Amino acid sequence: MITISEILEEIRNSSAEEVVSSCLERIGPNNFNTFITVAKESALKTARENEGHTGPLAGVPIAIKDNISTKGIQTTCASRILGGYIPPYDAHVIERLKEAGAVIVGKVNMDEFAMGTSTETSHYGPTLNPWNTETVPGGSSGGSAATVAAGEVPLALGSDTGGSVRCPASFCGVVGLKPTYGVISRYGLISYANSLEQIGPIASNVADMTLLFNVIAGHDPRDSTSVPGEKEYTKALVDDVKGLTIGVPKEYFGEGIDQAVEKSVWDGVHRLEDLGASWQEVEMPHTKYALAAYYVIAMSEASSNLARFDGMRYGLRLEKDHDWHTTYSAIRAQGFGEEVKRRILLGTYALSAGYMDKYYLKALKVRTLIKQDFERALKSTDVLIAPTMPTPAFKLGEKISDPLTLYMADVNTVPVNLSGVPSISLPCGFSNGLPIGLQIMGKHFDEETIIRTAYTFEQNTELHTKAPEVV
Amino acid sequence: MREESLKLRPYLDEVGVMIGLEIHVQLNKLNTKIFCGCPLDYHDDEPNTHTCPVCLGLPGSLPVINRKAVEYSIKVGLALGCSIEEHTQFYRKNYYYPDLPKGFQITQYDYPIASSGYINIEGEDGEVRIRINRAHMEEDPGRLVHEGGSIERSKYTLIDYNRSGVALLEIVTEPDIRSPKEARRFLDKLRNILEYLDVVDTTLEGSMRVDANISLSGGSRSEVKNISSHKGAERALLFEIVRQKNLLRRGGKVVQETRHFDEARGVTVSLRTKEEAHDYRYFPEADLVSLRVADWAPGIAKTLPELPDARRERFVSQYGITDDHAKSLTSEKKVADFYEQVAAEVDSKLAAVWIADVLKGELNYRDLGIDAFASANMVQLVKLLAGDQITEQSGVEVIRTILDEGGTPDEVVAEKGLLKAGGDLVTAAVEEAITENPQAVADYQNGKQEAVNFLMGQVMKKTKGRADAKEVRRMIIQRI
Amino acid sequence: MITTKDVEHIGWLARLKMEEEQLEGYADQLNSVLDYFGQLDEVDTKEVEPTYHVLEMNNVFRDDEVTDCLSQDEAIGNAPKTQDGYFKAPRII
């Protein structure tokens, strides 16, 4: 894998243009089907123009998940219905990246409209896990994590609605953060579930991820849910956890958790203990309802967020027009994949007359209880640690035939989105050559503590030096 | 509260007409739209030239609330006697139509910004209070152009999103309105209040759009959409009453449905689309946070201008004019302003008569607004009348001439020789008339009062109508 | 329990065209997921307020000031069908 400092060193020794050029060569063959669109011309042009740029990411190549608006570069959400859409505007995070001198090399693969845990629902085919190409890279930001793991680019942006940054980070052995809701502007992020999602930085190590996070985080007046203020997160890159109190929620080590995963994560907790932290068990009694609550809310919001895809202003349009409603229904039936359609149907149902109380409103109340679980657990602790995913990467095709089985994989990640707290996933071990990730969850707006904990852990293990063998 | 309005309308049980109105008011005096910074001056511009990712609903775009739109909404709410909600929030109304770029409209559902107000109007039986249920904020959809002009026969539809995202205030009444005429009066009064508040330019197309709900004798109500004028509202409702009465008389049932008003033909038609069963699946808009703005109300209340009813009362007390005149003069803000400009310089009572009773009539007849007549001209005219220099008929002629051809009162009077005939001329005419018509004189002296009229007519002929009638009568009687 | 009739209705509400033969498959899938969602009934939420927003934020506004618009070309640039600067849509009825 590549680091920012390696890239910056290379740029010093040659030029941004050459560095970006070799990056594009690595990406070229698309061995893992990471990229949907490679923006070769504009990347080289930017690299040339950024010669002498003094921003923190000057000349550094970065891959962008294909649900983030990039002006002039195709943005598809890995869906047939948005094929060919070229946004006339940049997302807020893209503007910040450009200001920092970063070079956007292309748009990476994902589950269609971010709905999935394996990047298998993409209209462009699945992305392969660079550690073992018979397995999935995780989802929905599979392309983002895989491209970093494969050493194609040092940095990537993903989005996390129910674990979509942390899951692929875990399966691909890289570092990914879902920030506190509101910390990174959603302006330009194509919505799946707007009360749950956040854009998240992905890198091969904690320091790089933090630097990227620092560039893209901060207030944006165009996002009403964006919190005021700017912070300097790189200050949290300190190798010290003395006195840190870790909460370990037993509910996150339930039945479905693989033995190797459980052992790895506990090894991680003990490692931190050796370094001066202490841990205690905490109770989060409503955790088992989080999955149902999450899916009801996410699907409900999705059913509304995806209503705009009618083929009039962008996207798929069929040859013949019938009357408005018939045309609209036909376009959506053909343009959306099966998982997306299922979620739209379920979400519509959960909001419909007669069912809204039972499903949508009920889920929102359960959400309150889950949020309170976090507040209570974090009152006596600084961070919570748990496995990110119940297992390492599963095989392609293994879980895709039964939606519920796939949903179950999100059991440890969704509570975080429901409560809005921040969480980092980073590698904590291996099982049969596949990475295992642990997640460090923190209080609202306390990214500093989880970054410090992650950094300390990483600096005191060898895990971040491992990379898959890529030909 | 319901009982109160029932007490005012003892005939309710027999008549049974219940009308409620939903009026969408465009806050077009804002600079920008409700959720984005696109400007509002799009009338007459090319389509889709006043849009941005937000009002086009491009994927990834997010709304941000225009603070001034909230201020204006509170202003209107206060002027309508509403309470301003402590906590107000936006919701999504989910439905699908080509003019709705997101596939949902951001509007308000629970917790509207204002509720429980009223407007008093001239009812069928005296003054009546029409209660306002709520006023809430929402965004305007785009504008559809149906090929061929008719929604039923068009082959395709063209969409212009310049209007998409304009701030709307939807004002919903209780079904307190009892006749199409009352509906019209309500709409006129509402428009008047909005003009006074200076939050809407009601002369712009689409600035006030009305949906009407009407039912007879507590039966199902039909909703009539696509009403774009106050006259149209009255016509649509009249048509509906007749249609529903006929249906009931033939033993049919009035179904709850949405009907489309065809302004050209003056009829309502059933749209008969499957869209009838609306399930809007309202849920809170997560891209917007809640508003707690009730504490803005006192400050905004201080900026409220004198509203029509208050101005009318002041006109009566300050200018000593009748309530009828005051009502007529305050029914349009511009007319009220005009009156006060004139009344500052001439006799206020005379001004009231000539503006309310004469000028307004002449303007209406010609389909003109008060802008067509300069206040300076009215001042001049009233002075001429007050100084007894022209007759009332001449006054009317002056107004008509100015409206049709231009000029000032002095100019018209001079050109047409309208100055009242001087004393000598009149005396001479009277003498002549008496001399030339001995029979009439004799008739009068024998008791026929009407003979004077004949003689007056002769005098008027001689003076080409420029003698003052009362004066002539007096002189004749004195002489004979 | 969702029937195929229900699926048809939801399909119409969601404007997703469905063929006859797909209805039963959808019904099965939806039912199994809804069964799972039914778990939520177990939770006592009598005294609990729903969480619509995880953040306790209020009153976020923008000023009533004009910002740049898209040009007409940019606005209609992605549209599959246009005419004279308008977006072209099917007839309504």
Lowest mean pLDDT among A163-167, A417-421, B389-393: B389-393
Whole-angstrom Cα distance, residue B388 to residue B319?
Answer: 21
> Is A422 a residue whose pLDDT tops 90?
yes
Residue to test with chain A: of C51, C53, C55, C64, most A Cβ within 10 A: C51
> Is A332 a residue whose pLDDT tops 80?
yes
pLDDT band at B218 (very low <50, low <70, confident <90, very high): low
Give mean pLDDT, residues A129-150: 97
Domain A4-219+392-465 coded CATH 3.90.1300.10: yes
Whole-angstrom Cα distance, residue B69 to residue C11?
Answer: 37
A69 touching B (Cβ < 8 Å): yes
Q: Is the dihedral of CA B63, B64, B70, B72 positive or negative?
A: negative
> Is A121 a residue whose pLDDT tops 90?
yes
Q: Output phi, psi for A178, to 5 deg.
A: -105, 115
Mean of pLDDT over chain A: 97
Q: Is A226 considered catalytic here?
A: no
**Does residue A317 contact residue C81 with C-beta atoms inside 8 Å?**
yes
Cα-based angle B51, B53, B57 (whole degrees, multiple of 5)? 95
From the list B37, B151, B159, the residue facing C89 with the nearest CB is: B159
Mean of pLDDT over chain B: 90
**Nearest CA to CA, how far is A371 from chain B (Å)?**
17
B274 touching A (Cβ < 8 Å): yes
SS3 assignment, position A292: helix
Whole-angstrom Cα distance, residue B326 to residue B337?
Answer: 12
C69 touching B (Cβ < 8 Å): yes
Residue to test with chain A: of B100, B109, B287, B290, most A Cβ within 10 A: B287
Cβ contact (<8 Å) for B52 and C67? yes
Whole-angstrom Cα distance, residue A384 to residue B192?
Answer: 62
Q: What is the pLDDT along chain C (93 residues), one digit of tens a residue?
A: 899 999 999 999 999 999 999 999 999 999 999 999 999 999 999 999 999 999 989 999 999 999 999 999 999 999 999 999 999 999 988
Cβ contact (<8 Å) for C93 and B51? no
pLDDT at res. B1: 36
H helix or E strand, kind and range, residue A266: helix A259-274
Q: A430-444 in b/e burial notation, b at 16+ Cβ within 10 A?
A: bbeebbbbbbbbbbb
> Is A327 a residue whose pLDDT tops 90?
yes
What the block records as the tokens of C22 is 């797909």
Q: Half-sphere exposure of A366 toward its Cβ, with a 13 Å CA cutoff?
A: 29
pLDDT at res. A163: 98
pLDDT at res. B467: 78
Cβ contact (<8 Å) for C64 and B69? yes
**Nearest CA to CA, how far is A229 from chain C (Å)?**
14
Q: Output phi, psi for A235, to 5 deg.
A: -65, -20
C68 touching B (Cβ < 8 Å): yes
**Does residue A137 contact residue A119 with C-beta atoms inside 8 Å?**
yes
Rounded to two decimals, the pTM is: 0.91
DSSP B46: P
Pick from B135, B102, B111: nearest CA to B36: B102
Chains A & C: contacts with CB separation below 8 Å: 166
pLDDT at res. B430: 84
Burial of B454 (0-12, 13-18, 19+ CB in 10 A): middle
DSSP C49: P
Q: How does pLDDT run across A23-49, given as a tens digit for each residue?
A: 999 999 999 999 999 999 999 999 999
pLDDT at res. B108: 98
Whole-angstrom Cα distance, residue A269 to residue A97?
Answer: 34
Residue of A nearest to B273 (CA): A325
Residue of A nearest to C25 (CA): A342
Residue of C nearest to A371 (CA): C54
pLDDT band at A471 (very low <50, low <70, confident <90, very high): low
Pick from B19, B40, B243, B272: nearest CA to B152: B272
> Is B396 a residue whose pLDDT tops 80?
yes
SS3 assignment, position B84: strand
Q: A167-192 in b/e burial notation, b at 16+ Cβ within 10 A?
A: bbbbbbbbbbbbbbbbbbbbbbbbbb
Cβ contact (<8 Å) for A304 and B283? yes
Give mean pLDDT, residues B151-166: 92
Name the catalytic one among A69, A79, A122, A140.
A140
Residue type, A455: Y
Chain C partners of B37 at a C-beta cutoff of 8 Å?
62, 65-68
Q: How does pLDDT run across B257-297, given as a tens digit for each residue?
A: 889 898 888 899 887 654 456 799 999 999 999 999 999 99
From the list B37, B160, B289, the residue facing C58 with the nearest CB is: B289
> Is A227 a residue whose pLDDT tops 80?
yes
Whole-angstrom Cα distance, residue A64 to residue A62?
Answer: 7
> Is B439 a residue whose pLDDT tops 60?
yes
Domain boundaries, chain A: 4-219+392-465, 288-364
Q: Work out the percent of chain A whose per-residue pLDDT is above 90.
A: 96
Domain boundaries, chain B: 2-302, 308-416, 423-479
Cβ contact (<8 Å) for A68 and B286? no
Pick from B69, B328, B21, B29: nearest CA to B194: B29
Residues in chain A: 471
Task: Name the β-bridge partners of A58.
Answer: none
pLDDT at res. B5: 40
Cβ contact (<8 Å) for B60 and A187? yes
Name the catalytic one among A65, A98, A178, A443.
A65
Cβ contact (<8 Å) for C17 and A333? yes
B112 to B136, B180, B287, B291, B347: CA distances (angstroms): 5, 28, 17, 11, 47
Residue of A nearest to C67 (CA): A222
pLDDT at res. A413: 98
**Nearest CA to CA, how far is C40 from chain A (Å)?**
7
Whole-angstrom Cα distance, residue B106 to residue B34?
Answer: 10
H helix or E strand, kind and range, residue B454: helix B451-462
Cβ contact (<8 Å) for B98 and A312? yes
Q: Work out the percent of chain B whose per-residue pLDDT is above 90.
A: 66
> Dihedral of the CA atoms B247, B249, B254, B258 (nearest 10)?
40
What the block records as the tokens of B255 is 């179904």
Chain A partners of C51 at a C-beta cutoff of 8 Å?
364-365, 367-368, 371
From the list B94, B159, B287, the residue facing A194 with the nearest CB is: B287
B303 to B76, B85, B300, C64: CA distances (angstroms): 11, 19, 5, 18
Q: Is A185 considered catalytic here?
A: no
Residue type, B340: E
pLDDT at res. B381: 95
Whole-angstrom Cα distance, residue A102 to residue B189?
Answer: 60
CA A226 to chain CA mean position, Å:
18
C14 touching B (Cβ < 8 Å): no
pLDDT at res. B272: 61
Pick from B323, B292, B298: nearest CA to B309: B323
Choose the most confident range, by mean pLDDT, from A397-401, B32-36, B440-444. Answer: B32-36
Q: Work out the percent of chain B whose per-residue pLDDT is above 70.
A: 95
Chain B partners of A324 at a C-beta cutoff of 8 Å?
96-98, 157
**Nearest CA to CA, how far is A309 from chain C (Å)?**
11
DSSP B177: B
Residue of B299 and B275 predicted with greater confidence: B299
Give mean pLDDT, residues B403-412: 93
From the list B53, B69, B154, the residue facing C91 with the nearest CB is: B154
From the list A86, A181, A361, the residue facing C55 with the nearest CB is: A181
Q: How does pLDDT run across A238-285, given as a tens digit for each residue?
A: 999 999 999 999 999 998 999 999 999 999 999 999 999 999 999 999
Residue of C21 and B416 predicted with greater confidence: C21
Q: How does pLDDT run across A90-116, given as a tens digit for each residue?
A: 999 999 999 999 999 999 999 999 999
Q: Is A362 considered catalytic here?
A: no
CATH assignment of B423-479, among 3.40.50.460, 1.10.10.410, 1.10.10.10, 1.20.140.10:
1.10.10.410
